Amino acid sequence: MSVDFMLSERRIKAAARRFFKRAIGTNGVPDRVVIDKSGANLTGLESVNVILKFTGSGSTIKILQVKYLNNIVEQDHPFIKRITRPMLGFKAFYLADATLAGIETAHMIRKGQLDANGLTAFQQFAALAA
């Protein structure tokens, strides 16, 4: 069942606005946000921009609504699921956070997404761990 059937359009937009306000409260105001073609996310971000304009914070969020740009992040998801599926689960949130961060970092090093400076993959990982 799709979320669209469970919530009205007004409630979806309100939920998106609350999500972005909470994320901004936790992480600060971003320069830009990349979203898919979801109308609720667009409306939620636009309402957050209105709030930012009226509060006089000076900067608004640039909204990039591109269908495939966030696939860069999404394409790594199956790799991480393949590694974590055989695990028995995580007993605590901080253990899950540390384990997933290590898996993602190793994957980024292997893919060459970090500045290598002529180091091998093992040397890069060891330098990050130190």
Q: What is the pLDDT of residues 34-46, one digit of tens each?
A: 887 777 888 888 8
Enumerate the domain spans of the chain. 3-72, 76-129
What mean pLDDT do residues 9-24 have? 81
72: confidence class by pLDDT, cuts 50, 70, 90: low
Q: Which pLDDT band holds residue 4 (cuts at 50, 70, 90)?
A: very low
- pLDDT, residue 110, reads 82
**What does residue 35 show for φ and ψ, rounded to 5 degrees?**
-125, 165
Give the confidence band of 74 by pLDDT, cuts at 50, 70, 90: low
* pLDDT band with cut points at 50, 70 and 90 for residue 69: low
Strands 62-65 and 32-35: parallel
Q: What is the pLDDT of residue 105?
A: 82
Amino acid found at 121: A
Which are the contacts of 109, defined by CB distance < 8 A and separation ≥ 6? 121, 124, 125
Kindly report the backbone phi and psi dihedral angles of residue 97, in degrees, each rounded to the nearest multiple of 5, phi listed first: -60, -45
